[in-house]
Amino acid sequence: MHKDDFPKYSDSPKNFFFSVLGSSWMIITAALFFMGISWYVLAVYLRDRGEERFDNNAQELIEAVNRRMIAYEQVLRGGAGLFLASKGVTREEWQTYVINARLAEYYPGIQGFGYAPLLTPETLETHVNQVQAEGFSDYKVYPQGKREQYCVIHYLEPFDWRNQRAFGYDMCSETNRRTAILSAIASGMPTISGKVILVQETQDNIQSGFLMYLPVYQGVVTRDDERKQQAIGLIYAAFRMDDLMQGIMGDTFSGLKFAIYDGENANTETLMFTSNKQLPNPQDVFYQSQMATIKGRVWRLDISSQSRFISSSEQTQGFWLQLVGCGFILALFYSVVVMARNRYQESRLTSELIANEKRFRLVIEASPSALFMVDKTGVITLVNTHAERLFGYAREELLGRSINMLLPKALWDRHQQHMSNYLVQPIAKNMSMRDDLFGCCKDGSRLAIEVGLTPIHFSNGLFILATINNVSERKRIEIQRAEHTKELERINQELDRFAYIASHDLKSPLRGIEQLTSWLAEDLVDNTNENVQKYLGLIQNRIHRMVLLLDGLLMFSRIGRVDAEIVEVDARQLIEDMFELVAPPHGFELLLEGEFPNFKTVKTLLELVVRNLMSNAIKHHDKDTGVIRVQCEPKEDVYWFSIIDDGPGISNAYHGKVFEMFQTLKPRDEVEGSGLGLSLVKKTVESLGGEIKLESEERGCCFRFSWPVRIVNKEVL
């Protein structure tokens, strides 16, 4: 192979490319600077927008908390107004008021709304007796202990099972509640307690809570020193913090992480509520912490968010801005590079075309087939060396001539018509399936050929590449194979005729000998010589054996070559019929185990196999009684039949011999038979693609053979 030559250039393509980049460095630098500045400005703008939205959301959340607490204050003031407007509010009146206030609907988050009177040790017993008189016989104030003042939960709605746990509880017994109560009495304003665990809580879903108190005074109070003396009780509301905040936040503030701490310090002890498992963190995208005084109590409100609070359209603005800018710069840079490379590629194109032509010619020459390139008129434009050797023409004798010169003259007109039809819709096709394709060599000899056609489009028009192979040797072998097949068929037919004639002609003298033996037996019936009767019996037995042998040979020769009808077979019934047919001696029984199928198969062949195996088992049994077990097991696409006897068994040394022709394990005079039974069985099973196995250990034999589930047109499926 000759090395392709290419023109030499001072610069390689790689160096040329970098020289173009060097000349365009100002464009690239300006583009990168512009993109960086625009990206930074847009990022700052979007962060400011996000921070502004976060601040608005945080402020709205804090205002929502304040508004909700103001609403609860109004509820408490309504309850206080009820007590001030009446000389005495009964439990039923309080219940009616709360029901009509529809707290669960308009004021979600309140666990309980009630009234707690202020008691002294002197009035405590009177209070207990009064409540017990109302029907609460088990009522008592808890926790027990002597205190200067008691604030006992008297009325509490809704009076459900959870709130009943707080009935009679002295709220002055706990520090946070007592501090808030005293502060409310002293100020006359609604006051909330510090973080507590409500008495209503159970072991499940324990939440932090707090209470809001509003004092109720006897008469009109105008001075601070009168409030403590005139206070008779407190209207209060109990809140579970998670339930309260769920009602306030809902899904509106789902993008925020919100935590409330009781007091100014943020720790586990003061944490009252968190909307997320992860607490707000200064490391989050946005974060703020505020101190808010809610009804006389300082709460720390920490709010943060992992979201940038930027809409999808705003997020894509930066991407599209940079994409458009990069696209413009790249398009400008690409146009400069393309113009330079086009000039460079033009100079390389000619040399590449020459190199490709050389490669194409090398491929053509290296092909093991004869190759011809012809134009639309059938004129040869290219040949390879193998084509010269195949047809015996020199290259100069072929180029410029019609392809018809390689065909018999009688086919020129027909070939021209075929070529015209092919050019209407040229496709790659193989003509090797035709038997009338012949080529003419220069010396006049003819070759059997196969032809493949491939259309190739060049700039100057359509050309056809013809691939031609000499198949004369293959044709000769195919003819020989056909002749051998025909000869084998003839031999098989002659073997069939021979087997039939031999069986028929050999049986005729045997029948004559058998008749003569019968006459001798009748004539010598009074002969007292035991040897005479013994020898006559042996002659008759051996004549019968010879007849069986001839029938077996005829059947053996025909197995696999004689068609048999495929019918519906009940395997269980067939096996029972074959057992009756072999006429077992009294004392033998048949046991069937497994599921026996109904299927379509060659019934006569299956009967042959089963009958021979059963007959063999009974014939060779060494006792007067016995059991023959037949099993069937479906497996994939075959049925495995097993015929098992309890006879003397067969030694491992004879397992291979029993399937050979004319082989018996006992002398012929002891056991009557032709020695072909198991050979017939083996050939029958294997003719249908099955297999047969012998298993025997000490006593008993098991013959297992496979039988195809489906047979179609005498072929196993």
| pLDDT value at 430 more than 80 | no
User: pLDDT at position 259, please?
Assistant: 92
pLDDT tens readout for residues 591-628: 999 889 999 998 888 888 888 888 888 888 888 889 99
pLDDT tens readout for residues 193-229: 999 999 888 878 888 999 999 999 987 787 777 888 8
For 491, the 3-state DSSP assignment is: helix
| pLDDT value at 672 more than 80 | no
Architecture per CATH, domain 563-716, reads as 2-Layer Sandwich (3.30)
- Residue written as token pair 């068929």: 489
CA dist list (Å): 239 to 116, 182, 193, 699: 16, 19, 11, 91
For 192, the 3-state DSSP assignment is: strand
pLDDT tens readout for residues 639-668: 999 999 988 888 776 666 677 644 454 544
User: pLDDT at position 10, please?
Assistant: 43
User: pLDDT at position 2, please?
Assistant: 37
User: pLDDT at position 656, please?
Assistant: 63
Mean pLDDT of 707-712: 84
**Domains of the chain: which residue ranges?**
57-305, 367-470, 476-555, 563-716
Give the per-residue SS3 of 75-95. Answer: HHHHHHHHHHCCCCCCHHHHH
User: pLDDT at position 555, please?
Assistant: 57
User: pLDDT at position 175, please?
Assistant: 92
User: pLDDT at position 410, please?
Assistant: 78
Query: 589: closest CA among 649, 644, 633?
Result: 644
pLDDT tens readout for residues 538-568: 676 666 656 555 555 555 555 555 456 788 9
| pLDDT value at 245 more than 90 | no
For 510, the 3-state DSSP assignment is: helix
Exposed, middle or buried: residue 83 (CB in 10 Å: 0-12, 13-18, 19+)? buried
Among 263-267, 574-578, 651-655, 671-675, the range scoring the smallest mean pLDDT is 671-675
| pLDDT value at 334 more than 70 | yes
The answer as to CATH 3.40.720.10 being correct for domain 367-470 is no
Specify the fold of 57-305: Beta-Lactamase (3.30.450)
User: pLDDT at position 639, please?
Assistant: 93
CA-atom Rg of the chain in angstroms: 56
User: pLDDT at position 11, please?
Assistant: 47
Among 160-164, 166-170, 525-529, 701-705, the range scoring the smallest mean pLDDT is 525-529
In terms of DSSP bridges, do strands 438-440 and 446-458 run parallel, antiparallel, or are they unpaired? antiparallel
Report percent pLDDT > 70 for the chain: 79
Mean pLDDT of 182-189: 90
DSSP secondary structure letters along 396-449:
HHHTTSBGGGGS-GGGHHHHHHHHHHHHHS---EE-TT-S--EEE-TTS-EEEE
Max Cα distance, the chain (Å): 162
Both tokens of 704, joined, read 């297992």
Asked, colleague to colleague, whether 57-305 and 367-470 share their fold, the answer is yes
Phi, psi of 141, rounded to the nearest 5 degrees: -90, 130
Percent helix, strand and coil across the chain, each to the nearest 5: 50, 20, 30
pTM of this structure: 0.45
Phi-psi group of 418: left, alpha or beta (phi > 0 → left; psi -120 to 50 → alpha; rest → beta) = alpha
Q: How confident is the model at residue 149 (pLDDT cuts 50, 70, 90)?
A: very high
pLDDT tens readout for residues 362-404: 878 878 888 888 888 889 988 888 888 888 888 888 888 888 8
CB under 8 Å, gap of 24 or more: what pairs does 223-226 form? 224/186
